């Protein structure tokens, strides 16, 4: 069955970020996230979520803020069973716990195109909202048979203030982090390559910014570049391709590639010949230090190093299995990660003690002892 929750557009980021809505007094006590929840005038003083069986029409008179009516449609027979709702009057119900929202169990309706645009222009760019594009958010209530919101008089009862939103948030954060870690993880060699790429960029920037110091920086750049080449998979692929072409060319003359290279290097003509053959055979090597003469040469080197690194990372991730939560399961409210017993203990300690990042950082020695 569908229910409708009238609220303010000022709460949209709050709701989508937490993927839930709670009785308003909970927000002041929550461990993280928004500390306030905007309550519309008709529902002030009601510390419960008020739901209607039908879509309601209401207005907000607040010209000094971007505060507009927002109607949430929720269809969730598991959370909103008749046993979990308190009937206040005909068609009006209250819910005293956190109501979890997903892109599949809710829709959002604004009452005007302008309110929709002014609100969502920032919301869609909020990186804390993970699935904004999947939520169904409409600029008008077209298609809904609206009724005027009745006067809501609710007898004051004890409300369940111990919301599980913080616990669920931390568990969801763990699952998101686990998937993100699998998606973005790289090998130690690639991590080293990314570090070298950054060092090369910084060194090139130093040379360009202070040309008079170039002779001092160039030996460092040479060492960084040679080390980068030694671990860069694209550079190695080009080397294999070049050697294959060279061996094929020399085979008819009975000359080994190593013999020819040693001879040409002794005559100091190997570099220009290597450059010419590389271009002819489509082997796009990173440049040698003698080729880096102008600012443009240095900038292109930085761009090439970055491109090689990004391509190496992309190639590596293609070989990785799809992210999975198969190693995580639950024993009641306890999280268990297979083969990671110490991390399992640390995570459950953090969740059970409702620790924030700031608390962990400020009292890390104390919490480390607590985990042990």
Enter the tokens of residue 57.
């029409």
pLDDT band at 160 (very low <50, low <70, confident <90, very high): very low
How far is the C-alpha of 241 from the C-alpha of 309, rounded, in Å?
19
Where is average pLDDT lowest: 148-162, 192-206, 287-301, 354-368?
A: 148-162
User: Tokens 């929202």, residue?
Assistant: 101
- Provide the sign of the torsion angle of the four alpha carbons 8, 13, 14, 18, taken in this order: positive
Q: Evaluate if residue 158 carries a pLDDT over 50.
A: no
296 vs 174, more confident = 296
- pLDDT given at position 372: 87
Q: Evaluate if residue 270 carries a pLDDT over 90.
A: no
* Over residues 305-328, mean pLDDT: 90
- Provide the sign of the torsion angle of the four alpha carbons 240, 246, 248, 250, taken in this order: negative
- Provide the sign of the torsion angle of the four alpha carbons 335, 32, 26, 59, taken in this order: negative
**Strand extents, DSSP E, the chain:** 2-8, 20-21, 49-52, 56-57, 69-75, 86-89, 92-95, 99-100, 106-110, 136-138, 147-148, 328-331, 334-337
Q: Evaluate if residue 325 carries a pLDDT over 90.
A: no
Q: Count CB atoms within 10 A of the CB of residue 197.
A: 21
- pLDDT given at position 309: 94
pLDDT band at 165 (very low <50, low <70, confident <90, very high): low
302 vs 254, more confident = 302
* Over residues 251-258, mean pLDDT: 83
* Over residues 67-94, mean pLDDT: 93
Q: Model's pTM, two decimal places?
A: 0.56
User: Tokens 């060492």, residue?
Assistant: 223
pLDDT more than 70, % of the chain: 96
- pLDDT given at position 166: 64
Q: How many CA atoms lie within 13 A of 241 on its CB side?
A: 15
């Amino acid at each position: 069955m569908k229910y409708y929750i009238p609220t303010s557009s000022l709460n949209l980021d709050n709701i989508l970020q937490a993927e839930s809505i709670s009785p308003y007094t909970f927000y002041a006590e929550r461990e993280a996230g928004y500390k306030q929840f905007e309550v519309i005038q008709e529902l002030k003083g009601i510390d419960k979520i008020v739901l209607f069986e039908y879509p309601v029409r209401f207005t907000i008179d607040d010209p000094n803020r971007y505060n507009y009516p927002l109607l949430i449609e929720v269809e969730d027979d598991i959370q909103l069973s008749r046993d979990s709702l308190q009937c206040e009057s005909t068609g009006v119900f209250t819910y005293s716990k956190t109501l979890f929202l997903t892109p599949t169990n809710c829709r959002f309706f604004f009452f005007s195109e302008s309110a929709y645009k002014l609100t969502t222009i920032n919301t869609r760019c909020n990186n804390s909202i993970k699935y904004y594009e999947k939520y169904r958010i409409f600029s008008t209530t077209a298609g809904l048979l609206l009724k005027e919101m009745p006067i809501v008089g609710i007898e004051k009862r004890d409300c369940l203030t111990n919301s599980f939103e913080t616990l669920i948030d931390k568990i969801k954060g763990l699952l998101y982090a686990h998937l993100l870690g699998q998606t973005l993880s790289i090998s130690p060699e690639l991590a080293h390559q990314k570090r070298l790429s950054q060092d090369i960029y910084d060194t090139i920037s130093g040379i360009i910014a202070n040309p008079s110091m170039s002779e001092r920086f160039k030996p460092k750049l040479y060492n960084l570049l040679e080390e980068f080449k030694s671990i860069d998979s694209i550079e190695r692929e080009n080397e294999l391709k070049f050697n294959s072409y060279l061996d094929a060319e020399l085979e008819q003359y009975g000359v080994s590639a190593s013999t020819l290279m040693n001879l040409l290097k002794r005559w100091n003509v190997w570099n220009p010949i290597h450059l010419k053959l590389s271009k002819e055979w489509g082997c796009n090597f990173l440049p040698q230090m003698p080729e880096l003469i102008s600012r443009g040469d240095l900038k292109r080197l930085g761009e090439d190093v970055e491109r090689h690194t990004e391509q190496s990372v992309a190639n590596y991730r293609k070989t990785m299995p799809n992210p999975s939560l198969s190693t995580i399961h639950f024993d009641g409210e306890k999280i268990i990660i297979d083969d990671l017993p110490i991390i399992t203990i640390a995570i459950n300690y953090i969740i059970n003690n409702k620790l924030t990042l700031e608390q962990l950082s400020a009292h890390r020695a104390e919490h480390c002892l607590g985990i042990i």
